[in-house]
Structure 1
Amino acid sequence: MSDTVTIRLAKENMKFSAAHFTIFSASERERLHGHNFRVEVDIDARMLGNGMCFDYGIYKDRVVALCRELNEWTILPTRSMHLRIEEDGAHVFASFDGTRIPFLRSDVLLLPIENATLEEFAAWFLARLGEDRAVLHEHRIDAIEVRVFSGPGQSAGRRARFD
């Protein structure tokens, strides 16, 4: 019998609402729009020998907190090769293909990602959940997979091993 278990965290409160646009090329992007995103996390861990692997309430709380960080923002990627971000006091300007798009600074979350996509959101969650390698080791976590949904039937996932 395997010593490893997969814990799936997919609670109703693991969600965020945000506006974004996806950049397809140097001259093509989506219009600004929003989604009610949902997040699921699979954690592969080794059993402790007492009928459990770890207190996964810790990770439920962490995912909910990360969702709150993204909730109700217009998300702009700071690492895009096609988008230039300028901050000017109360405003943020996103320059794309010769057009300067204004936003209120209070409405914008600048995220260190390449594009505002499901793939990049999943990678962001994964990086944040994997930041403390000592805790992952203590909880005997071998891998984490994060899946972000923009609606039913549409998601992207990213996975990392920590062994």
Structure 2
Amino acid sequence: MDANRYTVRVTKDDLVFSAGHFITFNGDECERIHGHNWRVAVEVDGPLDENEYVFDFIALRDLTRALVLELDHRMLLPARNPHIAVSEEGSNLVCRYRDRYWSFPKDECVVLPVSNTTTERIAEYLGDRLRGALADRGLAVPGSMRVMVEENFGQWATAHWPGG
């Protein structure tokens, strides 16, 4: 039996999305709305399987691409931020932070189940969704996985799911 462990990495030109966001920080500050051209990469570690690979590149790429497309050209809003309230008002979502508020068309937003739309939380969200998508399709969920999200050239955040 091969005792080595291997890593596969998927990062393609189409694993990118353009989206707006804003975050709260230092407990009582809220930054201005802005956007990024985010890039996503996924790494999976493990032993080789009966096909002599760690994971099917195509399945990993396609599932990641589908998740990335859900975020493309959207406003990313946090559902669990204690300082930002998101509510529906007609066909819009209204976000309130203290005396500031923003109104966005509902169909142009994605409300993420995160406390803040930081790059770290977006990486975690994508990884959790990817792991769920793999399980839903009956594919093996990697024990060890990393999802990296770049919000700006050279500025990456990584969420880890360490394996055994």
Partner of 1:112: 113
**% same residue:** 30
Partner of 2:152: 151
Q: What is the number of residues matched between the two proteins?
A: 160
- 2:44–2:55 CA contact under 8 A, matched in 1: no
TM-score after normalising by structure 2: 0.89
1:28-80 deviation digits (Å, cap 9, x = unpaired): 11110110000011101211254323322101001110100100001110000
RMSD of the alignment, in Å? 1.8
Query: Is 1:136 aligned to residue 109 of structure 2?
Result: no
Residues in 2 aligned to 1:86 and 1:26: alpha-carbon distance in whole angstroms: 21
1:31 match: secondary structure: coil
1:130 match: secondary structure: helix
Partner of 2:74: 73
Partner of 1:13: 14
- 2:21–2:76 CA contact under 8 A, matched in 1: yes
Residues in 2 aligned to 1:8 and 1:39: alpha-carbon distance in whole angstroms: 11
Residues in 1 aligned to 2:120 and 2:89: alpha-carbon distance in whole angstroms: 29
For structure 1, the 5+ residue unaligned runs are none
1:53 match: secondary structure: coil
Show the 5 A alignment for 1:9-48: 9-48=10-49
1:120-163 deviation digits (Å, cap 9, x = unpaired): 000001111222286225xxx33110000012110100110354
Could you say if the C-alpha distance between residues 102 and 53 of structure 1 is closer, same or farther in structure 2, counting changes exceeding 3 Å?
closer
TM-score after normalising by structure 1: 0.90
Bigger mean CA offset, 64-73 vs 104-113: 104-113
Residues in 1 aligned to 2:111 and 2:71: alpha-carbon distance in whole angstroms: 10
Show the 5 A alignment for 1:41-60: 41-60=42-61
For structure 2, the 5+ residue unaligned runs are none
1:54 match: secondary structure: coil
Amino acid at match of 2:69: R
Consecutive aligned runs of 4 or more in structure 1 exceeding 3 Å deviation: none
Residues in 2 aligned to 1:110 and 1:2: alpha-carbon distance in whole angstroms: 43
Bigger mean CA offset, 124-133 vs 107-116: 124-133
1:6-48 deviation digits (Å, cap 9, x = unpaired): 0011111111100001111453111101100000111012112
